[in-house]
Amino acid sequence: MAARIDGYIRFDKPGIYEIEFFTNDGLDARISGQRVGHFDGRQTCDSTFVTEVEVPQAGWYEFDATYFNRLNTSCLMMRMAERGKGMKWVPNSVFGH
């Protein structure tokens, strides 16, 4: 199974944000063209890597991702926080289309 996800993600204030994805199979995720999540393989539901994104002003930013899943399990989750603060799971309310 493969999914193409596109739309927008909202940042409530400017700053530098740390973003981390958890996936069990392949992922290529981008915010305004910057790659923020990538994995090309198979694993248990685990972290990709933490990426920093500079947000110059509050508002909506383009978000797109390609995700693929193999076999019977699936995992695609995202955590985010301002740099230096504790990361939390991203609520659905920050996404729009």
Question: Residue 61 sits in a domain of what CATH number?
Answer: 2.60.120.380
Range of the domain at 53: 2-84
DSSP designation for 94: G
Mean pLDDT, contiguous 10-residue spans, the chain (97 residues) = 90 96 89 91 79 96 89 83 94 92
Q: How many independent structural domains does the chain possess?
A: 1
Instruction: Please tell me the predicted confidence (pLDDT) of residue 28.
Output: 93
Instruction: Please tell me the predicted confidence (pLDDT) of residue 40.
Output: 81
Instruction: Please tell me the predicted confidence (pLDDT) of residue 58.
Output: 97
Angle, alpha carbons 86-29-91 (nearest 5°): 45
Indicate the pTM of the whole model.
0.86
Phi, psi of 73 (to 5 degrees): -115, 160
Instruction: Please tell me the predicted confidence (pLDDT) of residue 85.
Output: 94
Instruction: Please tell me the predicted confidence (pLDDT) of residue 60.
Output: 98
**Residues 79, 46: contact at Cβ < 8 Å?**
no
Instruction: Please tell me the predicted confidence (pLDDT) of residue 44.
Output: 77
Tell me which residue has tokens 């990709």. 48
